[in-house]
Amino acid sequence: MVKPLFFYGSLRHAPLLEVVLGRSLDSGAATAATLLDYAAYAVAEGPFPTLLAEQGSHAQGLLVSGLTASDIARLDFYEGGFDYDLVDVVLDGGQMAQVYVCGPERWTAVDLWDFDGWLSQWGAMSCHAASEVMGYLNSRTRDQVAAMFPQIRARAWSKVLAAGWTAGQEVFAGQVEIERKSRAYAGYFAVDEVSLRHQQFDGSMTPLLERSYFIAGDAALVLPYDPVRDRVLLVEQMRLGPLGRGDAEIWHLEPIAGRIDPGETAEHAAIREAREEAALELRSLEPVAKGYSSPGDSTGYYHIFVGLTDLPDGAAIIGGLASEVENIRSRLTSFDDFIAMAERQAIANTPLALLAYWLAHHRSRLRS
């Protein structure tokens, strides 16, 4: 017989628990409970807690009964990626239960766990992430999935960002029927294959279509501009896209760019990437555009800015994070030379070309 389980951390959030279980909770299966002489602490390594024995403290949580062996197997897969395993405990009032814990040395405990604060900031992202994690239940080990957590969270955070913004294009809102969706590849990026039908402009449905799309996280792009010196800073680095296409030029000129990390806004990511890639401090950001890089085949979504800053002669450096094996050379370019590059189609990066023409349109305002 499966003992009731006590959840003190993120799985206190019933929608997240149901994603992991792959089913809805039975009515009355979950009740509030307290575990004495333990405390839940947030950890420095991620938006989740750890449980530590602490005399005189208590941990609030959710007691769930009626779980099956299949439920436990799914929970073991999910929690095991964080190195949590089941142990027996006695709750306040004498109720026997089990709880997922790990060794006290596994994570770096910081402050007491704030469930409501976690729910507000991370609840939606965690549900999206758990959905991807549980999709690997029968194809990957829990350790393999754990190694993918940074990418999984980045993809989940993109879904949160997508839910918070609509372009308002006033376009056709037709039906889409998905018959099958599967993950064909998952690593730093991912690829999904999908069988679908969609409504056409005359109201009819298409035949079954077999399609695939590339899954990338949202990215922030920023072109540093010095309105006093009237110059921009471009970055140059080796890029895999040109390599895979067979381009003769593998190193390309780009704006500063990087993935938006979970919990970040696009603005914070742009400012951080300017520091990491070019050691620049941006005074302010000018929003330029938001949009898909290639909506026909990719979820990649760009948040594009011009960043106002000082660009003295010594600003061009070789930068990037050593931890990410980045080797990025920055280049100072006058506005006249920059727009001339765009005019003769010497810019092979389309967001950078967009930035050139946006800057040409707004340059007088920025310089004033």
Same domain, 202 and 230: no
Task: Give me 285's structure tokens.
Answer: 């950001």
Task: Tell me the residue range of the domain where 196 lies.
Answer: 176-215
**Claim to verify: residue 342 and residue 203 sit in the same structural domain:** no
134 band by pLDDT with thresholds 50, 70 and 90: very high
1 — pLDDT class (breaks 50, 70, 90)? low
- Tally the domains of the chain: 3
Provide the pLDDT for residue 102: 85
The DSSP bridge pattern shows strands 5-7 and 30-43 to be unpaired
* 242 shares its domain with 181: no
Q: Which of 179, 236, 324, 326 is an active site residue?
A: 324
Residue 171 lies in a domain: no
- Position 105 in a domain: yes
Q: Are residues 299 and 362 in the same domain?
A: yes
229 and 204, same structural domain? Answer: no
* CB-CB contact of 202 with 252 (8 Å): no
Confidence of residue 319 (pLDDT cuts 50, 70, 90): confident
- 55 plus 69 within the same structural domain: yes
17 occurs within a structural domain: yes
Evaluate whether 197 touches 207 at the Cβ level (below 8 Å): yes
Residue 150 covered by a domain = no
Task: Return the pLDDT at 320.
Answer: 87
For residue 28, what pLDDT is reported? 84
Identify whether residues 209 and 251 lie together within a single domain. no
Assign residue 247 the CATH number of its domain: 3.90.79.10
Q: What is the mean pLDDT of the chain?
A: 94
Closest to 163 (Cα-Cα) out of 124, 191, 133: 124
Instruction: Look at the alpha carbons of 200, 205, 208, 212 in this order and tell me if their dihedral is positive or negative.
Output: positive
Inside any domain, residue 348: yes
Cβ atoms 62, 6 nearer than 8 A:
yes
Residues 268, 301 within the same domain: yes
Residue at token pair 């009964």: 65
* CATH at 51: 3.10.490.10
Residue finishing a domain among 116, 135, 154: 135
| 164 found inside a domain | no
**Lowest mean pLDDT across 78-82, 92-96, 157-161, 164-168:** 78-82
Catalytic site includes residue 273? no
54 and 118 inside one domain: yes
In this structure, the answer to whether residues 315 and 180 fall within a common structural domain is: no
The Cα 277–Cα 320 span in angstroms is: 4
Classify residue 159: in a domain, yes or no: no
- Residue 205 and residue 244 in one domain: no
| pLDDT for position 325 | 86
- pLDDT for position 2: 78
pLDDT in tens, 237-277: 999 999 999 999 999 999 999 999 999 999 999 999 999 99
pLDDT at 46 over 70: yes
**d(C-alpha 34, C-alpha 28), whole Å:** 17
Report the distance separating Cα 40 and Cα 60, nearest Å.
8
Q: Are residues 337 and 283 in the same domain?
A: yes
